[in-house]
Structure 1
Amino acid sequence: MKKCLKEIEEITEMQQWQKSTVYQIYPRSFQDSNDDGIGDIKGIISRLDYLHDLGIELIWITPMYVSPGNDNGYDIADYYQIDPIFGTMDNFEKLLKEAHKRDIKIIMDMVLNHTSNEHSWFKEAIKSKDNPYHDYYLFKDPVDGHEPNNWVSKFSGSAWEYVPSLNQYYLHLYDVTMPDLNWRNPELRQKIFEMLTFWANKGIDGFRLDVINNISKTKNMPDDTFETPTDDGRNFYTNGPHVHEYIHEMYRKVFGPNNFVTVGELSSTPISEAVKYTDPKREELSMAFTFHHVKVDYTNGKKWTLGHYKLTDLKSIISDWQIKMHKNNGWNALFWNNHDQPRAISRFLDDNKYRDESAKLLALVEFGLQGTPYIYQGEEIAMKNSYFTDIKQYKDHESINAYNDLLKKGTDKKTAIKILQQKSRENSRIPMQWDLSENYGFTKGMPWIKSFQKDNYSVKSVRSHSNNIFSFYQNLIKLRKTNKTLMEGSYKLLDPEDNSVYSYIRQKDDKRIMVIANFTEKEQKRTILNDCKLILGNYGNIRKTSNIVKLRPYEALMLEQ
């Protein structure tokens, strides 16, 4: 790191997870150890030194439980077993041991809103209305021979599926094979607490809780109005009537006693609710994973469109969360990418000519904000969208359903593919690029999902260059752990109406840090702080005269006054 990077005394009063950087692993695409084409636990173990070298102290791993794989593991059939495609429980226990030896904590992904329809509970539930497991799920009688209400599944179509033998429908907010659980049932809740405790006893360090804010549904589950694009039922299940009560109960029985780090996926959640989830005094969750900023290119609120974003909108959303969460004792999870999002470098910037600069810009903007930063696998080497050209290349049910739905509504195939190229979560699921051999060093077998594009970016090739993206992330991770202004400082957005440059100030006492980033390929001149020094920049130097800086294409700077 440059000598101008000032190391500040390490913060002792904050929680370790507030100072750490989280690395998300999508295991089936991370590293394959047995050449069956699917990443596995042994593969993760083999890359722990790589993550330690990067500076990672927390790993979030997406689900590895027994599952039929209709939603790539988010449809859990057995909460207590590791899916054989990933390895064994012995492998998992070794992963924990090896990670902890390197001072790396493991956060497991947990799905508590729904199970797979192959779960033993559901198999019992559909046997009869009198079966004790029937009330573990949300069944409703037909209304005038039709679905109980007009709610829409996140995976397209009705959120209800008919069971002829029961003459009832069950609710599935997601895939039809993923029935929603009935959290009003105290016996179900007790079963869940017992299961969470099982994993706690294994020695894990926390949970990332999938769609956790959807677990409490309005009791009578009425029709939605459909007055806006988001009126699809979510008004009656997002941040429902008892959700905070349920999460607090989990905290008292599992999270608190085990000193867990907990991350809540809180889609469609306003800041006022996110504060409630993450205010330590309420004893619920550690941090909030929200999506408003990555929906900025949704046309009229609709995902499956060819969208375009305005930087002013992106800045406004991020700034709103920065200011109000910090002011009210909430805590943000900071991210640009994850397994459900297209690659941000392809989405917001330039993944071609200015690929390195764009990747570093995104990193610098993220790490300058208040909250815990997340890196999704491959982000540290500027991996980009998969750019699939044929629907046959897709595996993801959500994407395939959306494609078929677009065609039914009259969209031509070429446009439908362009929409998927922009919005599909499959963009982020192609295998990790370790080297430039066949299949990028991920496997010697046939990958479960193949990358069809030729790319010269890999861990090995990127790290062979000086001032590379990987080392840029290393510097940011080190900086953020030791800089009190970045950890605790207030946030102020500069020039809200500037649609080319994003600039903000973090301040703690008499220390100020300015982040300024040019989101265009054109040179921009802007005013910066007087008498400031460069901490880090994606071009390695700064071009300024007095307090006027000349920003090159996609240039980003972090400055200290």
Structure 2
Amino acid sequence: MLHFQTDFQNGIVIREYDDRIALNNGRVDISISKDRGQWEKFRIDGYELINYKALPQVPVDFKVEGRWMIEELGCKYIGYAYNQEAKVVSLTVKLGVNRYPYVRALPESLVAGIPADGGNLMAKTGPISDRRQERFIEKDYEYTVNCIYTLEPDTPEVRRRIEVKRSREDNFSGVRVLKFESFLFKLPGVILGQEEHCTIDVPGPIVIGNVLKPRLEYTNAKNIYSSRGTAPDFDTGIAVLANEYEGKNLSVWTETVETCYGTHIIGNGEAVTVAVNEEYANYIFDTCNFSSHDNIIRLGEGKVKEALRNYAKYVKAAAAPMGNIPSWVRDAVIMEVDTHYFGGFKDLKEKLPVLKEAGFNTLYLMPINEGGYRIADHYSIDAELGTVDELKEMVREAHKQGIRILFDLLVVILSSESGLLGEHPEYFIRDESGRIMPHNVWGNASTDYGSDEYKKYIVDFVVHCIREYDIDGFRVDSPVSKSPNWYPHCGKAPWKTTMGSYYILEEANRAMKKIKPDAILLDEVGGPSFFHVCDICHNFSFVYQVLSDENIRNSYSIKDYKNHLSDMQDALPEEALRVFYVRNHDTAWFYRFDGYTPEFFCYEAIHCFIKGIPLMFSGQRHWDGPSDEDYRFYKKLFDIRRENPVLIDGWCDYESIDTGSDYVFSVLRILDDKAVIILVNVNGKEAATSVYMKEDWLRLMQNVSLKDLFGGRNITVHCLNEFEVLIEPYGIRVFEI
């Protein structure tokens, strides 16, 4: 039965019924239960977005002291409120959560004495009788959770935000100060039309042990649990449910660059829930109020591509990629160098002509300090590699030969043996007692990204290296989010440690460019936030290792990798320039390497010819580096890339070309009226495959000569709309049209 209705001039309506609250803007229609605040209905443009096989679930939660409070303790509907600002309307559904297994009695005499205006409520609320009940019952709960839903007129989008308020009174027993850890948003049992037409995408890094196939069929997603990396530092941060049969997509992300969040795909055998937890570490005192950032749910037109491109517009507005990237960067061909492999600075200097001849014009040196990645003193130089003067001479000679030099910038840890632990404990993450904490992955002493003193230390070191060695910038090692600093006397909220590397790198890059404007920062990870403070970022992916793993290769193919590359390109602004590798120090340490095989070089060729910057690995500690023959192969790749601007500046079109083979990678590069077709057979068997062209201005061309820039196997095809090509085992074709 309808009790109360508010009609706003912009067409948004709020209705209160016996058992639910409803919010509608003509396109979005949400009904929220008065039982525990769970969704009873969630529709956009007539699409029912809830699969009830996953319900009942409260679509929000929060974590305190390692416990999801609503999941463990339950909640109770208290009341609602609403607010209008300009054309935007927000509905706040209030839930009560008790940490303790009792609720105090509510004397009627006290209820009667509550002022009619309800006291300090948010904006306007429902009928006065409800306001009286709401104002007092809120006191009966240790936590009040405000679930805020915001709509704009005639827009297929919902914004959600969580506010958690603690009101602990004297007659509640327990610890006075607790650790608040994170907010949780759920899309329980999300669906978009018929499940057999739906796919799920969460673009992000490819790592063994956490591989999520692009365009994952909904029917398969019902049986998995996948926890993605954090965003916006490591992952792109968006999840997309697409129904390409109906040309619709539903996307979910959180608007933040200050905190990090993780996306989880949770199947229960019958339905799929998308969960997003925003990490927000802070101390909870007797009375306090914390708020999440906005979580966005948006229904869009088109395929996955359209959803990702819409997200890229948000990324560009919120954290635009760094402008004025030095012009030399687009032409860069990078070698990651373990200087020990060459014997030291003097020997590397002697090797420079060979590297230049092969086509490398940028060298990034793995740590040259004492201790390597477990650095004790940033300013030290490893004596095994040579002297400071020998390092300077090597850099000077590299510059004479047109080769740029990057150092490795280590920000994530310092050695447990470092003297800085005693001299500057404020540089490090500490527990409540002040004890310096180890990093949860790399051990040693975890540095505090939120420390102003540590930020100054890193920025000063960056400036020192630019001035002292005249290098051309840094590659930044693992600046991803980390555990909070719970030390009460560190002078800041614990969550500021989590994403603080963002601000360190922003200031370091600014200081570096004041001295040397064409110097760069290359970030190891490629989440959207780091493109804002670094010039270029890695596309963090161990694809060759994944596709070489017998346990994975049957469920993840080269076409899946093509979809990954397409998704990553679409989810980031066009200006975001990525660095691609097949092998680096991580793969050398953690995965088996079978040598520079024809299969390995197929992936090197793919990364050389797609949009981005290729990076190769020198080898490590005197073994497993390229042979002279391998260098000749690299030279062939790099010469083709350098001599054909379309392979550097051209758009990478993954959608307009496909093949009939599961083992042939295909992509189209386009620059003005120039086009190049890249086909790579990653299989050890000959591939006789059809090639299908969808690009309008190319598909109708007839009697076309295709010049193979790589192997000289030129062909003439009757029509580019569809043609046949025979590719030998591990064969590479670079067809100029």
Same topology, TM > 0.5: yes
Residue 613 (structure 2) pairs with residue 372 (structure 1): yes
What CA distance in whole angstroms lies between the structure 2 residues aligned with 1:344 and 1:545?
45
Q: CA separation of 1:511/1:543 partners in 2, compared to 1, >3 Å: closer, same or farther?
A: closer
Per-residue deviation, 1:522 = 2.0
1:115 to 399, 405, 414: 414
What CA distance in whole angstroms lies between the structure 1 residues aligned with 2:497 and 2:616?
27
Residue 307 (structure 2) pairs with residue 60 (structure 1): no
What are the within-5 Å matches in structure 2 for residues 109-508 of structure 1? Answer: 109-124=408-423, 133-141=424-432, 168=435, 170-176=437-443, 178-202=444-468, 203-214=470-481, 217-218=483-484, 240-255=498-513, 257-259=515-517, 260-266=519-525, 273-274=527-528, 276-278=529-531, 282=532, 284-294=533-543, 297=546, 307-308=552-553, 309-325=556-572, 327-342=573-588, 355=597, 357-377=598-618, 431-432=623-624, 458-459=627-628, 462=629, 469-493=630-654, 494-495=657-658, 498-508=661-671
Aligned to 2:280: none
Q: Percent identity?
A: 20
Per-residue deviation, 1:472 = 3.3
2:684 to 493, 510, 521: 521
Per-residue deviation, 1:195 = 1.3
Q: Is the 8 A contact 1:516 1:556 kept in 2?
A: yes
Aligned to 2:402: 103
Instruction: Report SS of the residue matched to 1:81.
Output: coil
Amino acid of the structure 2 residue aligned with 1:64: I
Q: Is the 8 A contact 1:296 1:314 kept in 2?
A: no
Q: CA separation of 1:141/1:119 partners in 2, compared to 1, >3 Å: closer, same or farther?
A: same
Aligned to 1:43: 347
What CA distance in whole angstroms lies between the structure 2 residues aligned with 1:527 and 1:285?
41
Q: Is the 8 A contact 2:595 2:624 kept in 1?
A: no
Q: Is the 8 A contact 2:449 2:498 kept in 1?
A: no
What CA distance in whole angstroms lies between the structure 1 residues aligned with 2:563 and 2:601?
21
What CA distance in whole angstroms lies between the structure 1 residues aligned with 2:456 and 2:551?
45
TM (norm. structure 2) is 0.48
Amino acid of the structure 2 residue aligned with 1:264: D
Q: CA separation of 1:197/1:296 partners in 2, compared to 1, >3 Å: closer, same or farther?
A: same
Instruction: Report SS of the residue matched to 1:361.
Output: helix
Please give the root-mean-square deviation of Cα atoms over the aligned residues, in Å.
Answer: 3.4
Per-residue deviation, 1:220 = 5.4
1:27 to 339, 354, 370: 339
Q: CA separation of 1:26/1:238 partners in 2, compared to 1, >3 Å: closer, same or farther?
A: farther
Q: CA separation of 1:86/1:504 partners in 2, compared to 1, >3 Å: closer, same or farther?
A: same
Aligned to 1:155: none
Aligned to 1:400: none
Aligned to 1:553: 729
Q: Is the 8 A contact 2:485 2:497 kept in 1?
A: no
Q: CA separation of 1:431/1:252 partners in 2, compared to 1, >3 Å: closer, same or farther?
A: same
What CA distance in whole angstroms lies between the structure 1 residues aligned with 2:687 and 2:645?
30
Unaligned runs of 5+ in 1: 1-11, 33-39, 68-72, 125-132, 143-165, 222-235, 379-427, 435-457, 463-468
Per-residue deviation, 1:536 = 2.8
Q: Is the 8 A contact 1:336 1:344 kept in 2?
A: no
Residue 208 (structure 2) pairs with residue 16 (structure 1): no
Per-residue deviation, 1:541 = 2.7
Q: Is the 8 A contact 2:449 2:455 kept in 1?
A: yes
Amino acid of the structure 2 residue aligned with 1:47: K
What CA distance in whole angstroms lies between the structure 2 residues aligned with 1:296 and 1:239?
32
What CA distance in whole angstroms lies between the structure 2 residues aligned with 1:483 and 1:106?
25
* Bigger proportion of residues as strand: 2
Deviates more, 1:78-87 or 1:469-478: 469-478
Deviates more, 1:482-491 or 1:328-337: 482-491
What CA distance in whole angstroms lies between the structure 1 residues aligned with 2:378 and 2:496?
24
Per-residue deviation, 1:504 = 0.8
Aligned to 1:398: none
Q: CA separation of 1:331/1:337 partners in 2, compared to 1, >3 Å: closer, same or farther?
A: same
Residue 697 (structure 2) pairs with residue 536 (structure 1): no
Instruction: Report SS of the residue matched to 1:76.
Output: coil
Per-residue deviation, 1:117 = 1.6
Amino acid of the structure 1 residue aligned with 2:567: D
Q: Is the 8 A contact 1:206 1:255 kept in 2?
A: no
Question: How big is each residue's C-alpha offset from its partner over 1:316-363, in whole Å with a ceiling of 9 and x where there is no partner?
Answer: 2222223444x432111021111111499977xx869xx3x4344223
Instruction: Report SS of the residue matched to 2:420.
Output: helix
What CA distance in whole angstroms lies between the structure 1 residues aligned with 2:535 and 2:646?
21
Aligned to 2:263: none
Q: Is the 8 A contact 1:334 1:373 kept in 2?
A: yes
Per-residue deviation, 1:433 = 5.2
Q: Is the 8 A contact 1:312 1:496 kept in 2?
A: no
Q: CA separation of 1:341/1:100 partners in 2, compared to 1, >3 Å: closer, same or farther?
A: same
What CA distance in whole angstroms lies between the structure 2 residues aligned with 1:84 and 1:344?
27
Aligned to 1:36: none
Question: How big is each residue's C-alpha offset from its partner over 1:48-88, in whole Å with a ceiling of 9 and x where there is no partner?
Answer: 11111112211011001022xxxxx1011121121111111
Aligned to 2:41: none
Instruction: Report SS of the residue matched to 1:313.
Output: helix
Q: Is the 8 A contact 2:412 2:479 kept in 1?
A: yes
Amino acid of the structure 1 residue aligned with 2:370: V
What CA distance in whole angstroms lies between the structure 1 residues aligned with 2:680 and 2:687?
10
1:88 to 387, 395, 398: 387
Per-residue deviation, 1:543 = 6.8
What CA distance in whole angstroms lies between the structure 2 residues aligned with 1:75 and 1:343?
15
Instruction: Report SS of the residue matched to 2:437.
Output: strand
TM (norm. structure 1) is 0.62
Amino acid of the structure 2 residue aligned with 1:515: I
What CA distance in whole angstroms lies between the structure 2 residues aligned with 1:343 and 1:550?
37
Q: CA separation of 1:170/1:240 partners in 2, compared to 1, >3 Å: closer, same or farther?
A: closer
What CA distance in whole angstroms lies between the structure 2 residues aligned with 1:239 and 1:477?
41
* Count of matched residue positions in the alignment of Structure 1 and Structure 2: 388
Tell me which stretches of 4 or more aligned residues in structure 1 moved more than 6 Å.
236-239, 343-347
Q: CA separation of 1:50/1:474 partners in 2, compared to 1, >3 Å: closer, same or farther?
A: same
Per-residue deviation, 1:91 = 1.0
Question: How big is each residue's C-alpha offset from its partner over 1:185-233, in whole Å with a ceiling of 9 and x where there is no partner?
Answer: 212211221111110102111100000233x654559xxxxxxxxxxxx
What CA distance in whole angstroms lies between the structure 1 residues aligned with 2:547 and 2:706?
38
Q: Is the 8 A contact 1:138 1:182 kept in 2?
A: yes
Q: Is the 8 A contact 1:81 1:89 kept in 2?
A: no
Question: How big is each residue's C-alpha offset from its partner over 1:483-510, in whole Å with a ceiling of 9 and x where there is no partner?
Answer: 2222222222233885211111011122
What CA distance in whole angstroms lies between the structure 1 residues aligned with 2:731 and 2:405?
34
* Bigger proportion of residues as helix: 1
Q: CA separation of 1:187/1:433 partners in 2, compared to 1, >3 Å: closer, same or farther?
A: closer
